[in-house]
A = this chain, B = another copy of it.
Amino acid sequence: MKQICLQSRPVGLPNAETFEIKDVKLGGLHSGELHVKLVFLSVDPYLRGRMNDTKSYIPPFRLGSPITSSAVCKVIRSEARDFAPGDMVLAQVPWQEEVIVDSKKVQKVDTTIASAPAYLGVVGMTGLTAYFGLLEIGKPRKGETVVVSAAAGAVGSAVGQIAQIKGAYVVGIAGTDEKVNYLVKELGFNAALNYNDPDFPKKLKKACSKGVDIYFENVGGTISDAVWPLLNKNARIPVCGAISSYNIKPEEDMGPRVQTYLIKSSAMMQGFTVGNFQDEFPEGTRQLVKWLDEGKLTHKETIVEGFDEIIPAFLSLFDGKNIGKIVVKLD
């Protein structure tokens, strides 16, 4: 069975040398374990960080060891009391077609409530990231202006919709006109802007005529640099991601220092990862599912098919072309 491993730590964008395909055999199935087949695999920007050998909130991948991420899997064989073949489970798995997992580390999913890919997106980790980052750090109030970058992405599209539910004026930033149209016409954002427009900073200022109360940060770089001068008094900046810096060296990620902007507006930046809110996951999931049911939250996935598409799907995270959550279908 093929397994995708980390062959070398990438400098810049990962490429063919980054990965190594190994042949592995499944071990025996012991008590408490499940033999599962990956059905939908999540590829996520944060995995890029784990390819570097630097201290972070999550340990780096080891050279020669498999890349792992979240997947919705189907149980083939079960040695665990509460699971039966055919059950669908959410698990953290290596990138290979089938795998033995500890049943204590997986979570059953009910695909009658939300679709299997939605468990990797809007009602899964990315939805929770949007939910807690926006509500617990951003704390939007009715009528405030919320700006979100990578707004057509998995996290950003949820952030914008939740901000609308809370009565905020929502401005999305994305990289193509197609995405900008999607944000305004399909998701009902109040405004959306293409950051490739040479007049982007000027247009952002115009779109945020009352200034920026919350900036949900997904991208970093020059896009965010354009937001700092617009911050209102007591602005909040949940810092979720900085995808523009993931494939460059730290010494290349230079921009205007933020201190004077933060002082002028008594603004707050808070870095976070969804794991910080683990105790509140059940409540968050319940609310996201409710909004989904009520039609207040819509979602879109970009789904590609086949094991050989895993690496291209991962790399496509960094080309800025996809809309919504990117999922690889393996069934």
Which residues of A come within 8 Å of B, CB atoms?
Answer: 49, 54-57, 217, 220-221, 224, 233, 239-242, 245, 250-251, 253-273, 276
Contacts and interface: CB of A to CB of B under 8 A. Distances in A.
A255 B255 CA distance: 6
B57 A233 contact: yes
Main DSSP-derived SS at the A contact region: mixed
B264 A271 contact: yes
A224 B258 CA distance: 11
Contacts of A253: 256-257, 260
A259 B254 CA distance: 11
A56 B240 CA distance: 27
**Nearest 8 CB-CB pairs, A to B?**
A262-B271, A242-B259, A263-B271, A56-B264, A220-B259, A268-B270, A269-B269, A239-B262
A245 B259 contact: yes
B261 A265 contact: no
Given A57-B233, A255-B254, A269 B260 contact: no
A229 to B, nearest CB: 8
A240 B263 CA distance: 7
A253 to B, nearest CB: 5
A240 B262 CA distance: 9
A46 to B, nearest CB: 9
A239 B259 CA distance: 7
Nearest to A242: B259
Contacts of A271: 259, 261-268
11 contacts: A56-B264, A251-B256, A253-B256, A255-B255, A261-B271, A262-B269, A262-B271, A264-B271, A265-B271, A267-B271, A268-B269
A258 B261 CA distance: 13
B220 A266 contact: no
A221 B263 CA distance: 14
A172 to B, nearest CB: 19
A200 B257 CA distance: 20
A258 B263 contact: no
A320 B13 CA distance: 43
A266 B260 contact: no
Contacts of A259: 217, 220, 224, 239, 242, 245, 269, 271
Nearest to A56: B264
B220 A264 contact: no
Contacts of A273: 263, 266
A139 to B, nearest CB: 14
Nearest to A252: B256
Contacts of A258: 258, 269
Given A268-B269, A268-B270, A269-B268, A220 B257 contact: yes
A159 to B, nearest CB: 16
B264 A272 contact: no
A38 to B, nearest CB: 28
Contacts of A256: 250-251, 253-254
Contacts of A233: 57
